[in-house]
A and B are shown apart, each in its own frame.
Chain A
């Protein structure tokens, strides 16, 4: 390949890099680190859900999963779509999964939506700050639902189940009190292989 052609290729690449930079969307903050790939998170989530002794009562025939996004947050939208795609055609506890996507409209509205929609799982995408996660946790307390978060930090403030990457392998984090509050009952065998947050 000639030097001139290579220069053109390089210039083309520079253009590809620069043009999106100039799109007047304004530069937002960087994405948060979703260390465990979303499809793997979904597989883990559905597998854990299958071990929940209360899943049968919560989802007798179909496991409805709410993919919760934050309006106006690009990463939230991307992860939400990736999660919805990964959930398509899957099962949990031998029951088919049905995907419901929705934007966060506040804690009480979320709790109502979960109850009315008979949702068994809520998967929280990135974009939520600590106070919003707190609001989610408070609203879902007393509601029978397995909540899971795409970011490791969500375990601190808002969900029952979260994921982290350690030594290049995924790990599960389970918030025991929140699990109890949300009627999620995992077997002791499962609790042995996750990191339990008391």
Chain B
């Protein structure tokens, strides 16, 4: 079956090229060159994907619009190879090449917008869904860099890098108004401007977009799951706080989830270029909840709230014919609040018998300076040295409070910490085109950080252009993820002791080889990779001796029977290949592509080795085709994503048989999009989408217990959804 699929794909490579060769014989090679993707994230300079020192994918704004894409996770799943996300309600987890580390809040992928890192300093969180909160029309393209990428960027770039590059004013000229909906559960409105002008006699430009996204529903049904009597009061709980909605008796969890499934996400992004300066400012907020997000059921007083403010000021100067200096001053402010309500005394502090509102607060402010020098030794791009330093001061704060449902009071913050940390990094990268057909890129970065000590991240890549249109690459790279402040300091006296300052950075090293071949307007990518992950952090049980010691220190309450601590105890071995093919034909009216990734990843933990990674797809891919119909008719686009069998979040490795209920079966999700200009109204365009998912359920279980009917209940998918949107561009 797999061989047949491969043959089909190879035929697809050859056939369009031949079939359309006659028709577009004149321009196919030129069109092929115009299909060349240019990336900047792998080595901090614009270069063709084929010679970049990492496997890279560029997702264009044209494709985002053509295929009805609305968020980063959709873009990754539908258009890229190597990376894949899993979604439950609004939240997305991201993995790459068969490795997905659950509950990591995106911290193993570095997310950047225009070179500014968005993973915050408290728990390295980055969102790859609607919560990315970068106004969507501003996106010029998205760069995915696969594999370890700490060599220029430091922590978090373990699975890879996702860089969002925003539009220049020339490509966003005028005013843009957008309204769209996934009917009838969401609405997104946006207004943006782009303008070029003169400032103090020099060229200047500004782009700005303000966006608001809001979602309510759909209503989903859950349960019934039989709850145990509260271990403190002995009473059965009414889980749904909305009495009108209760369909199950006390002690039974579940019902109609119609009150607590919403998102509110306003965001704004401004970018100003004037002379040698570039200033970017982002402000965003994401408030969201879902019916199972509390100790109760469908309780809208439980929610999560993230807020961001990011500033980036960059200055570039030419020092001599050889040297260029760019200096970046950046600052970030972030805070996170999670409100988690429960009517159960067992979830709360002693004496809070009517339940409580648990609140986790985390915040991070940082300011940094990154001077970077580029030395073009022969002044022709043959040998270029990049050297930079990145110094940063971070202030972190976090605490937990339990507010009594009855009295509205709390005994003050628990587990509070507020360290100020300093970090310094230096990096060096040398590119060298020894001949016109061989390029070497080697670099290293050293990080020193108050939080974890030090880390060194090397990378070496060799690209050879042995024949026309072909590139062979070999890459060795390493990356790390620093322990988060949450890992080190978080303390819950009822369950968890702090990980402590002895936690080491997680590390990964990888070797990969790839071939990229351009055939006219077709591009083929085949890559193989192997990676070794060490010192992965895992919440692990502490032994009885440590348990008592932590009780004696006051880190755990007296009488606690089980305690947990984040420890460097896990490792992963990973091997696989990815394949990508894309192209265009019929004078670039027909676009198509297919991507496949297949990997094997196994995790070793204390007492268990060779287990599967929960949630991590080992086989996944996508296919797409679009055609621009003539004479004002729409562009018709169809895109589908498939994912193979993979373990759910309740997967427990067993030595013998693995229960089928612990696996999600293969599924396909597809989207049909019609887009085009509204006839008779210059500047007005539309986009209509239909989404369908063959999977009824996600990989994520809804609640700790099991259904009364037996087995786990998994969060339903939103299987069928129609969408419609309008965009009006004027004063262009």
Q: A104 to B446, alpha carbons, bound, how many Å?
A: 45
For the complex, what is the distance from the CA of A70 to the CA of B47, rounded to whole Å?
Answer: 25
* B26 near A187: Cβ-Cβ < 8 Å: yes
| Across-interface contacts of A39 in B (CB, < 8 A) | 48, 381
**Chain A min CB distance to B387 (Å):** 5
Beta-carbon nearest neighbor of B587 in chain A: A192
Q: Is the CB–CB distance between B26 and A167 below 8 Å?
A: no
State in angstroms the CA–CA spacing of A147 and B640 once bound together.
44
Selected from A17, A77, A82, A170, the residue in CB contact (under 8 A) with B325 is A17
Q: Could you tell me the distance between the alpha carbons of A30 and B318 in the complex, rounded to whole angstroms?
A: 5
A20 vs B47: C-alpha distance when bound (angstroms): 25
Residues of A within 8 A of B47 (CB): 37
Chain B residue at smallest Cβ distance from A152:
B170
Q: Does A185 contact B (CB under 8 A)?
A: no
Is there contact, CB below 8 Å, between A23 and B320?
A: yes
Give A188's nearest chain B residue, CB to CB. B26
- Establish whether residues A10 and B454, one from each chain, have CB atoms under 8 Å apart when the complex forms: no
Which A residues, 151 to 198, have Cβ-Cβ distances below 8 Å to chain B? 152-153, 164-172, 187, 189-190, 192-193
B317–A29 touching, CB < 8 Å: yes
Decide: B454 and A6 in contact? CB cutoff 8 A. Answer: yes
Min CB distance B538 to A, Å, is 26
| Cβ–Cβ contact B321 & A77, under 8 A | yes
A57 close to B (CB within 8 Å): no
Q: Tell me if A172 and B448 are in contact (CB < 8 A).
A: no
A168 touches B318 (CB 8 A): no
Distance in angstroms between the alpha carbons of A172 and B456 in the assembled complex: 42
Q: Which of B56-64, B473-481, B501-509 contacts A (4 or more CB under 8 A)?
A: B56-64
In the assembled complex, A131 has its CB within 8 A of some CB on chain B: no
CA distance A183 to B33 in the complex (A): 24
Q: Is the CB of A169 within 8 A of B37?
A: yes
B33 engages A40 (CB within 8 Å): yes
- Specify which chain B residues have a CB less than 8 angstroms from the CB of A27 in the assembled complex: 317-319
Note all chain A residues with C-beta closer than 8 A to B276: 29-30
Are A51's CB and B30's CB within 8 A? Answer: yes
In the complex, chain A residues whose CB is within 8 Å of the CB of B36: 40, 169-170
Is residue A21 contacting chain B, with contact meaning CB distance below 8 A?
Answer: yes
Contact of A193 among B61, B315, B448, B588 (CB under 8 A): B588
Q: Taking the complex as formed, is B312 at the interface, i.e. its CB lies under 8 A from any CB of chain A?
A: no
Q: Contact at A74–B33, with CB atoms within 8 Å?
A: no
Q: Considering only CB atoms and an 8 Å cut-off, how many residues of chain B contact the other chain?
A: 68
State A17–B382 Cα separation when bound (angstroms).
Answer: 20
Which residue of chain A has the shortest Cβ distance to B273 in the bound complex?
A33
A52 to chain B, nearest CB (A): 12
Q: How many residues on chain A are close to B (CB under 8 Å)?
A: 58
> Mask for B315-332, Cβ within 8 A of A = 1, else 0?
111111111111000000
| Contact yes or no, B46 A35, CB < 8 A | yes
Query: What is the bound-complex CA distance between A34 and B376, given in angstroms?
Result: 15
Q: What's the nearest-Cβ distance from chain B to residue A8, in Å?
A: 10
A113 at the interface (CB under 8 A from B): no
**B446 near A170: Cβ-Cβ < 8 Å:** no
In the complex the two chains form, is A1's CB within 8 Å of B454's CB? yes
- B317 to chain A: closest residue by CB: A27
Asked whether, in the complex, the Cβ of B46 is within 8 Å of the Cβ of A165, the reply is yes
Chain B residues, CB < 8 A from A37 = 38, 46-48
Which chain A residues border B389 with CB–CB below 8 Å?
A: 10, 13-14, 17
When the two chains form their complex, are residues B325 and A81 in contact, meaning their CB atoms are under 8 A apart? no
| Contact with B60, one of A43, A169, A187 (Cβ below 8 angstroms) | A169
Q: Is A136 an interface residue (CB 8 A)?
A: no
Cβ of B143 under 8 Å from chain A: yes
Taking the closest CB of chain A, its distance from the CB of B471, in whole angstroms, is 13
| Complex contact A13–B426 (CB within 8 A) | yes
Q: Is the CB of B588 within 8 A of A168?
A: no
Instruction: Please give me the residue from chain A that is nearest to B171 by CB atom.
Output: A166
Is residue A38 within 8 Å, beta carbon to beta carbon, of the partner chain? yes
Instruction: Let me know if B436 and A89 touch, CB within 8 A.
Output: yes
B window 247-304: CB within 8 A of A: 275-276
When distances are taken between beta carbons in the complex, the residues of chain B under 8 Å from A13 are 387-389, 426-428
Chain A's closest residue to B427 (CB) is A13
B381 interface neighbour in A16, A82, A153, A190, Cβ under 8 Å: A82
- Check: B140 CB closer than 8 A to any chain A CB: yes
Inter-subunit contact A40/B48 (CB<8 Å): yes
Task: Say yes or no: B324 contacts A31, CB within 8 Å.
Answer: yes
- Annotate B21-36 by CB proximity to A: 1 below 8 A, 0 otherwise: 0001011011101111
Confirm or deny: B373 has a beta carbon within 8 angstroms of a beta carbon on chain A: yes
Which of A20, A28, A43, A168 lies in contact with B140, CB distance below 8 A? A168
Known contacts A27-B317, A37-B38, A170-B33, A190 near B27 by CB under 8 Å: yes
Measured between C-beta atoms, what is the minimum distance from B384 to chain A in Å?
A: 10
Rounded to whole Å, the gap between the CB of B617 and the closest CB of chain A is: 26
Contacts of B326 in A (CB 8 A): 30
Q: Does A48 contact B (CB under 8 A)?
A: yes
Structural contact, B454 and A193, CB atoms closer than 8 A = no
Tell whether B656 is near chain A: CB-to-CB under 8 Å: no
Q: Is the CB–CB distance between B140 and A166 below 8 Å?
A: yes
Tell me, rounded to whole Å, the shortest Cβ–Cβ distance linking A91 to chain B.
Answer: 12
A167 touches B60 (CB 8 A): yes
Which residue of A78, A164, A171 is within 8 Å of B379 (Cβ)?
A78
> What chain A residues lie within 8 Å of B27 (beta carbons)?
51, 187, 189-190, 192-193
Contacts of B454 in A (CB 8 A): 1, 3, 6
- Give the distance to chain B from A185, nearest Cβ to Cβ, in Å: 13
Contact B29–A47 (Cβ < 8 Å): yes
A16 touches B387 (CB 8 A): yes
B38 adjacent to A20 (CB under 8 Å): no
Contact among B29, B60, B380 with A78 in the assembled complex (CB-CB below 8 Å): B380
Which of chain B's residues 373-418 have a Cβ closer than 8 Å to chain A?
373, 375-376, 378-382, 387-389
Q: Which residue of B lies closest to A192 (CB)?
A: B587
Is A55 close to B, CB under 8 A? no
Q: Which of A13, A74, A85, A88 counts the most chain B CB atoms within 10 A?
A: A13
State whether A168 touches B34 (Cβ < 8 A). no
- A103 close to B (CB within 8 Å): no
Known: A1-B446, A9-B426, A189-B24. A21 touches B319 (CB 8 A): yes
Partner of B316 from the list A31, A44, A153 (CB cut-off 8 Å) is A31
Q: Are A20 and B446 in contact (CB under 8 A)?
A: no
Asked if B541 is at the interface (CB within 8 A of a chain A CB), the reply is no
B126 within 8 A of A: no
Asked if A63 is at the interface (CB within 8 A of a chain B CB), the reply is no
Bound complex: CA A34 to CA B317 (Å): 15
Q: Are A47 and B33 in contact (CB under 8 A)?
A: yes
Given contacts A47-B30, A89-B436, contact A17 B58 (CB under 8 A): no
Query: Are A3 and B453 touching (Cβ within 8 A)?
Result: yes
CB of B29 within 8 A of CB of A10, answer no
**With A47-B33, A193-B30 as contacts: A170 and B38 at CB distance below 8 Å:** yes
Q: How far is the CA of A25 from the CA of B325 in the complex (A)?
A: 13
Q: Of all chain B residues, which has the CB nearest A187?
A: B26
Among B38, B380, B382, which residue has its beta carbon within 8 angstroms of that of A169?
B38
Please, which residue of chain B has its CB at the minimum distance from the CB of A36?
A: B38
B560-598 vs A, CB cutoff 8 Å, 1 = contact: the mask equals 000000000000000000000000000110000000000
Complex A-B: 6 CB contacts under 8 Å: A6-B446, A17-B389, A47-B29, A88-B436, A167-B60, A192-B587
Q: Across chains A and B, which 9 residue pairs bring their CB atoms closest together, nearest first?
A: A167-B60, A81-B380, A30-B316, A168-B141, A13-B426, A30-B276, A168-B58, A74-B321, A20-B323
